[in-house]
Every structure is written in C-alpha cells, then in structure tokens.
Structure 1
C-alpha cells in the first residue's frame, strides 16, 4: 500500500517526537581521565585511559537507570603530561566543563596540587598517585585506588631482607614527588629490617645517562639498589648497571613493573629487576584472565600496570550510582565509603581518608623481558 504523501510529514513528526522522548529519558554522565598521554610515560596514560574506556563501554551496555533515566557514560580524556602545571589546568578545565567524576592523575606530583581544584569543584576523584600526601589534604571524595608508597616501598624493603637476603642497599630517586616519597618509605623500612643503606644518589625524571651516580654507587658495593622513579629511567639504568659490571639487583615500585621496562631494557632486566605493584596477580584472580583477554581483544595490547584498577573503580562508581539512585558526587561518594566492591585487581573498601583498607601488593621480576609475578601479599 502506498503511503499518501500528506502523511509523510506527520510520520516524520511522530518519529521526531519518539526520538526526543528517548533522549529525554537519557542522562549523560561525563567520566574524565587525566594522565600522561604524551612524553615518556604516555604508555601508562593510554593504558589507564583504556581501562576507563572499557568500563564505560560495559556500563553503557548495562543501561543503568537512575532517577528514571538511563545513564549514558561519556569519556573525556586530557593529557597532563605528568606535569603539575598542566595537571592543574586540566583539573580546572574539567571543573569548568562540569565533569563530576575524574580518574587520575597517574603521577603524584600532579595529583597533590590538582586535588585541591577538584575538591573545590565538587569532583569525585580516583587516583593512582601513591605519595602519602595525596590523601592527607583532608579532601572529601578523593580515593587512592591502589596501595600507597609506604605500603609499596615498605613491602619491597621487607622482600629485600627476607627473600633476597641482602644486607647492604643503595638508594636512588628522581626527585619527583612519587620517586622521592617511594625511596623515603623504602629507606625507613629497610633500616627497620636491619639493612645498611650504603649510599644515596639523585637523578631526574628526564635523565638518560646514569654512569656517574652508578659509578659512585658501585664503589660502595651494595647488593641491591632501590630506584624511586619511572620505567623510562629505570630501564636504561639497568642496562648501564650491567655495562658497569654492577651485579646488584635493581628494586623499585609499581612504575618499574611495567612491560615498558622490558621493551626499553631488553635482556638486562631479566632476573635483575624486582618491583612491587599494588593489586593481586591477575592470572590468579578469579576474573583476571577474562579481563586480560577482553582487554587485549578490545585494544590489541596487553593490559599494563593499572588498567584493571581504573576499570574496577569506574565499575564501582557505576554500581554506587545505581545504589544511591543518584549521580550526585556526594551521594555516590557516600556509597563508595560504606560499600565493599570485589573487582578484578582487588576488593575495594576505603577508609575516611580515601585509602584502601586492604591494598594487595604483588612482587614481580622479569623473565624474557616480560614482568612475571612472584608472590602477592
């Protein structure tokens, strides 16, 4: 049957009305991501961003209904380049754009100054900034979604004493808020464990040549060297240790557990680097292998250090919105504070400062230039 031409405008109006009604039943929720999408740590920023993206896609598939409206999550991602000034500018941009939920920053040196801007703007912030100062500002709705430096640095000192059985250690840090804080926590616990700190050296997060400080360190004959810093420096440092005939193990925190260490350091990192990372061993976690598989299928790359943690927290936020029947950050935050969520990388429960009550830690080494889990604590 042929549709009369005079009915076409009417049908168009009906379709438009139905579409408008559907849109009216939809509530857009912006999820911000801030991290290094350029520079030497861009691999980590992209990995974290993809963890957020995967969670958003899954939440949209669930079609959560809050206040009678279906939530539509949208990712807004910005590059802070692990730079404090850029990170504060990104924070202000998100506040101005009415982004009320932000994942990041990755670097403690960005998280510490930016957290004030986010707090003043009423934003619920979830970060992997590990420096203890990140959660000491007294800001509400700020969550550290992994272990802190005192947990990570301390656990590496215990591992050095109890498992590696070393007695003399050297310490190097890159003078960033993250690297310096991590090294301080390692040093404190190392002394408690009876280890002798034979020397301390400093570098920067832009350096590529560590010959001078490593030569100084070699003369003091440490059995292990702890490096507070990032993989783009840790990898060449490991190669240069080998070239200088330094047989000490290189110890570090979560940032050295990245596959980037193997890509940049090659064979030099094998059985020579030991690092501690927040989170349990994904291969042994109930939903870990499935997460790794779907992440690789979606992005064509293996999940790096914190993709699972970012994914978990976004899923936790979505669940909390449904429970609170609200997208108001304060109401969602109230749910996060009082609820426990079993994710892929950990079981999330926060204290009143936003720290995880029980943050699992895994120690890794490298085999065939790839991070290999040894044990979880």
Structure 2
C-alpha cells in the first residue's frame, strides 16, 4: 500500500548511525555484536500510523507483531535471545516516518523493522535503513518502485535497496487484477477513475487504467483529490454526467468511504472499487450505503486460510481490544521472518550474534522460506514476496465478503 523526494541523510541521521555503531548505552546487552547469546535482547521495531485516520490498520499491524514477539519468547524460538517490540507512530506521513527510522537505527538492539503501512512513508525511510544495514519488511506497501526502481514500468527493473522487503504483493498485479474483475466478471466497460495523488493511490490507479483500457474498457473521466478531502460534490456531478458504470478509486478508506456515500446519495447506483487501502471495516462504518462496493486485497482471505487458524485463535486469546485488520497476518509473517533470520544467524555463529548482526540478518531474510500465516513466506530477487495471491472483496450484509480469489494473469 500504500512521491518523489530525494532522501537526504541529515546530520542527526549520521549521528544516529554513529551511535548505533558504538552499541547500546543502556543496561540491555547490545544485539549488534552481542557476544554470548545468553541474555541478549533483540528488538523488532514497528513503524505504522498508530493515531489518525489510518490508526485502525496501524494498531492491527502493531498488535500482530507484538503477538509474534510473545510467541517467540514463549517457545524460546532462539535460545539465549529475548525479543522485544518498539512501536513508533508515523501518523501516515513521510516526515515522522523518517524521524522514526533515525530513532530505530540509533537503538542498537533493533535488528529488524516491520512497516510502514504507506508507500510514501517507506520512500522516506529506505535510505536510512539501508545505510545502517537494518532490515525493513513491510506488510502493506504496494508501490512497485520501492523494490523495482522508478523505471520498472518500462521493463528496466533495478532493486534500489538491499535491506527492503515486503510480504504484500505490488500494484503491478493488484491494479490489473481489479481491472480484470471489473471488466470481465462484473461486465463494467466504462469507468471513472479517481486518485488521491499519493504514491500508493496514484500508482494503483495507473496500473488499473493500463489493464482496463487494454481489455477494451473506456475511461469516462479522471479526477484527483486530496487525502483529507471529505466534500466530493463537484466530482460527484462530473461522475454523474459521465455515464460511468463504476468508479475506481486509488487511495485509502478515510476518503473512499465518504466519496462512495456521496455518490450513492446523489442517486448513482454504481459500485466504487478500490485497493487494499480501502478494504477495512472502517470503510463500512464511514459508508452505510457501501453494499456492492469492491476492494482488492493482497493474498487470500486470512479469516478463511487454514494456515491462519492458529494466528486468529492466538490473537483472540491475547486479548487485544482492536482487530488485526487487513494486514495482521502479513505483519505477523513479517515479524516472524525477522525472528527466523535471527535464529539462522545465531545458529550459524555458534549460538551467538555476530559483530555484523544487522547485515547478517539482511542476508538471512533474503534466504528465508517458511510456511506462515498467509502461506509460503519467501522473497524474490527484488525483495518482493513470492506469494502473488489476490482477493476481491465486496460489501455484503454489512461486512466484506470474498467475491473472487486468484492470481493475476497478464
């Protein structure tokens, strides 16, 4: 999931890197160059929106990582190593995300980070993590350029950062998968496309448009909104006069919900479709007339995956008051990939962390392969997940219901 700005490593970042190189100044034994594994604390950082409009998803990410840490400690997954979590709030904005990256790098016990949610936030963090050899695994980023470079659409794919991975598949398949569903399965041939101008939303809308027109569909019109917009009266008028049979929205649920509601209240009985940033229970809360709307999501329906049964049971038993939401399973798998990598690094170094623990964990994550909550967890040469499963959901009886699951055939 969730543009372009050059990431400048400030003096504060350089200072943070220097502090990391010197090791922890606290009572905890540093994880980087930890000597004996006995009593070593390894921290898994989390960066997500824990407050603001997208906090429902962000809290689900944090809780799912927390559950993975608890399970690893309960089972003594890595003998001599105790895992901890350090969760920071990026409010879904790049600047706080960059500051969080600096803070996580400065903590020498941090050997991996899960997050962020938003692709635009990831852009502000990648260079900082890469310079520190600190692995970052996002459970939600779908912007293709993050892993395949800015020229990916021309066929020139180049991985920008060795330390960046993700357990979510990309918009290179999510947008086209949605287009195929809307055109072939729902028989909608004329669509109005709207995006929120953010990295995630604009990228998703672009890949949808490319496949939809390739299939023979017509774009009835295109508009751009701001993520904070809530009055869409002008756009509703344009959609109404366009003759569109559906609306495709590239963005997230805080704006998508009101947009769809205003379309319906204007008498437009047409579905709105979006991506994984829209597929949240809060979308339905914001839009009581959302029945029949569609959203794609990465992977299969976690609630129905046999591999996720224990995760769901454990999450409920842990007593978290907030649901794990769209990316819970992917967050747990991201954290477990870091745990597995630490386990492999320690095992290969006579039961202790090496002096270059962060770099060793990056290399170990690249080779990871295990059966996770969401299915097989492994990464290709770009750091992208090898799991290309996608699901289309529709709102039915006040909840998201599976309409179709499969892989994109392009």
TM-score (norm 1): 0.89
Q: Contact 2:193 / 2:223 at 8 angstroms: preserved in 1?
A: yes
- Partner of residue 335 from structure 2, selected from 294, 299, 314: 314
SS of 1:292 mapped into structure 2: helix
Write the distance in 2 (CA, Å) between the matches of 1:120 and 1:316.
Answer: 21
- Identify the range of structure 1 (100-109 vs 285-294) with the bigger mean alpha-carbon deviation: 285-294
Q: Contact 2:142 / 2:200 at 8 angstroms: preserved in 1?
A: yes
1:288 aligns with 2:308: yes
Q: Where has structure 1 moved over 4 Å in runs of 4 or more?
A: none
Which residues of structure 2 form unaligned runs of 5+? 1-35, 150-158
SS of 1:101 mapped into structure 2: strand
Give the superposition deviation at 1:360: 1.1
Give the superposition deviation at 1:248: 1.7
Write the distance in 1 (CA, Å) between the matches of 2:166 and 2:202.
Answer: 18
1:220 aligns with 242
1:170 aligns with 2:192: yes
Q: Contact 2:298 / 2:389 at 8 angstroms: preserved in 1?
A: yes
Write the distance in 1 (CA, Å) between the matches of 2:307 and 2:377.
Answer: 15
Write the distance in 2 (CA, Å) between the matches of 1:334 and 1:62.
Answer: 24
Q: Contact 1:296 / 1:303 at 8 angstroms: preserved in 2?
A: no
Give the superposition deviation at 1:38: 1.3
1:138 aligns with 2:151: no
- Partner of residue 89 from structure 1, selected from 99, 110, 121: 99
- Partner of residue 211 from structure 2, selected from 167, 189, 192: 189
Give the superposition deviation at 1:61: 0.8
Cα deviation code 1:36-69 (max 9, x no counterpart) = 111100111111001100101001112133xxx5
Q: Contact 1:28 / 1:71 at 8 angstroms: preserved in 2?
A: yes
Bigger CA radius of gyration? 1
Q: Contact 1:346 / 1:359 at 8 angstroms: preserved in 2?
A: no
Give the superposition deviation at 1:24: 7.8
Q: Contact 1:275 / 1:364 at 8 angstroms: preserved in 2?
A: yes
Write the distance in 2 (CA, Å) between the matches of 1:113 and 1:283.
Answer: 33
SS of 1:366 mapped into structure 2: strand
- Identify the range of structure 1 (284-293 vs 56-65) with the bigger mean alpha-carbon deviation: 284-293
**Structure (1 or 2) with the greater helix fraction:** 1
1:302 aligns with 2:323: yes
- Partner of residue 339 from structure 1, selected from 368, 373, 385: 368
1:9 aligns with none
Q: Contact 2:340 / 2:368 at 8 angstroms: preserved in 1?
A: no
Write the distance in 1 (CA, Å) between the matches of 2:270 and 2:212.
Answer: 16
2:224 aligns with 202
1:118 aligns with 2:140: no
SS of 2:400 mapped into structure 1: strand
Give the superposition deviation at 1:306: 0.2
SS of 2:53 mapped into structure 1: coil
Cα deviation code 1:223-257 (max 9, x no counterpart) = 11100011111111111011111122101000111
Give the superposition deviation at 1:329: 3.0
Q: Contact 2:57 / 2:324 at 8 angstroms: preserved in 1?
A: no
2:65 aligns with 52
1:10 aligns with none
Write the distance in 1 (CA, Å) between the matches of 2:97 and 2:335.
Answer: 20
Which residues of structure 1 form unaligned runs of 5+? 1-22
Q: Contact 1:292 / 1:302 at 8 angstroms: preserved in 2?
A: no
Aligned residues: 350
Q: Contact 1:29 / 1:71 at 8 angstroms: preserved in 2?
A: yes
SS of 2:287 mapped into structure 1: helix
Q: What do you get for the CA RMSD once the two structures are aligned?
A: 1.6
Instruction: Rate the CA distance shift 1:24–1:339 in 2: closer, same or farther, 3 A.
Output: closer
Higher RCO (C-alpha under 8 Å, 6+ residues apart): 2
Write the distance in 1 (CA, Å) between the matches of 2:369 and 2:64.
Answer: 20
2:291 aligns with 270
Q: Contact 1:154 / 1:189 at 8 angstroms: preserved in 2?
A: yes
Q: Contact 1:281 / 1:373 at 8 angstroms: preserved in 2?
A: yes
TM-score (norm 2): 0.82
Q: Contact 2:194 / 2:205 at 8 angstroms: preserved in 1?
A: yes
1:356 aligns with 385
Give the superposition deviation at 1:279: 1.4
